[in-house]
Amino acid sequence: MFLSLQLLLLLTLTVRTGGYYQYTTNECLASSPDLTDVEYIVTYHFNKDPVMRFNSTVGEFVGFTEFGVKQAKYFNGLPYLQQLQGELESYCKHNLENDFSVVLEKAVAPRIKLRAEKQPSGGHTAMLMCSAYDFYPPAIDVYWLRDGKKVTTDVISTEELSDGDWYYQVHSHLEYTPRSGEKISCVVEHASFSGPMTYDWDPSLLESERSKIAIGASGLVLGIILSAAGFIYYKKKSSGRILVPS
Task: Walk along the chain (246 residues) and give the pLDDT tens digit of each residue.
Answer: 333 344 455 555 666 666 678 888 888 888 777 788 889 999 999 888 999 999 999 999 999 999 999 999 999 999 988 899 888 888 888 888 877 776 666 789 999 999 998 776 666 688 999 999 999 989 999 999 999 999 999 999 999 999 988 899 999 999 988 888 889 999 999 999 999 999 999 887 554 444 454 455 566 666 676 666 665 665 666 665 544 454
Rounded CA gap, 171 and 4, in Å? 21
Quote the DSSP letter at residue 109.
P
Residue ranges of the chain assigned to CATH 3.10.320.10: 7-104
| Residue pair 171/129 in contact by the 8 Å Cβ criterion | yes
Largest CA distance in the chain: 119
Q: What is the pTM of this model?
A: 0.49
Residue 213 has what pLDDT? 47
Residue 175 has what pLDDT? 92
| Residue pair 142/172 in contact by the 8 Å Cβ criterion | yes
Rounded CA gap, 218 and 215, in Å? 5
Cis status of the peptide bond prior to 137, with omega within 30 of 0: yes
Topology, domain 7-104 = 3.10.320
Strands 111-118 and 155-157 turn out to be: unpaired
> What CATH number is given for 111-205 in this structure?
2.60.40.10
Residue ranges of the chain assigned to CATH 2.60.40.10: 111-205
Residue 41 has what pLDDT? 93
